[in-house]
Amino acid sequence: MRDLTSWKGCQAPGISALEGRFVRLERLSAKMHGNGLYEASTMPDAGDRFRWLPEYPPESREAFRPWLERAEASTDPLYYAIIDKATDRIAGRQTLMRIDTKNGVIEIGHIFWSSLIARKPAATEAFYLFARHIFDDLGYRRFEWKCNDRNAPSKRAAERFGMTWEGTFRQAAVVKGENRDTAWFSLLDREWPRAKKAFEAWLAPGNFDADGNQLRRLEEIRENIDAGTA
């Protein structure tokens, strides 16, 4: 276990951009990202992708403006727009939230990955860029992922990313007029080196064929790391 005798907490996140091979994360700006995020939020499948979020897809560009302004001004949650570098289009957004600098705990949340990047390397990299920043740059001890317990794809994603299920908080909230039991997942600083190694091996160009299909699954790479055969 990490010696915390001289622990003094962490810096609050605030970097303006995080750059990857597939995506770039930029602090959300209503002016810079508003139109693109509106387009991503009103794609034909937006209703399904907003199913477990606290908001509904925007009804119009003008109706979207107050949300954008609140999101830009917010520091917790701290919103980032996701730019898909293959198309140079805004593909969604995600936040760092419940920021506890004293104890070094932070959560990724309000995740909206449109069909431009969902279930693609870009989405995995969007998660990885947050994790790398909060562990390597800011020294946080714990990275959290929480979702509605009925949201099976979100729970599968957390497990795929190497996070540990910690339990379910029953009747934790009321969202969109429905009860929400919240499933909790976490990744710890001592687990990050293994997870980071797996992410970087999976995201490497050599792990994809000419059609962009993965050659090794992320879970398989972690298993090989554990077995010493990575």
Backbone angles phi, psi at 98, to 5 degrees: 45, 55
Residue 119's pLDDT band (cuts 50, 70, 90): very high
Sign of CA dihedral 119, 144, 15, 1: negative
User: pLDDT exceeding 90 applies to what percent of the chain?
Assistant: 97
Is it the case that residue 230 has pLDDT exceeding 80?
A: no
Tell me: pLDDT of 113 over 80. Answer: yes
Predicted confidence (pLDDT) at residue 229 exceeds the cutoff of 90: no
Q: Is residue 218 very low, low, confident or very high in pLDDT (cuts 50, 70, 90)?
A: very high
Please give the domain boundaries of the chain with CATH numbers for all domains: 17-228 (3.40.630.30)
Q: What is the pLDDT of residues 130-163, one digit of tens each?
A: 999 999 999 999 999 999 999 999 999 999 999 9
Mean pLDDT of 97-114: 98
Q: What is the pLDDT of residues 33-91, one digit of tens each?
A: 999 999 999 999 999 999 999 999 999 999 999 999 999 999 999 999 999 999 999 99
pLDDT tens string 1-32: 788 999 999 999 999 999 999 999 999 999 99
Task: Give per-residue pLDDT as tens, 158-200.
Answer: 999 999 999 999 999 999 999 999 999 999 999 999 999 999 9
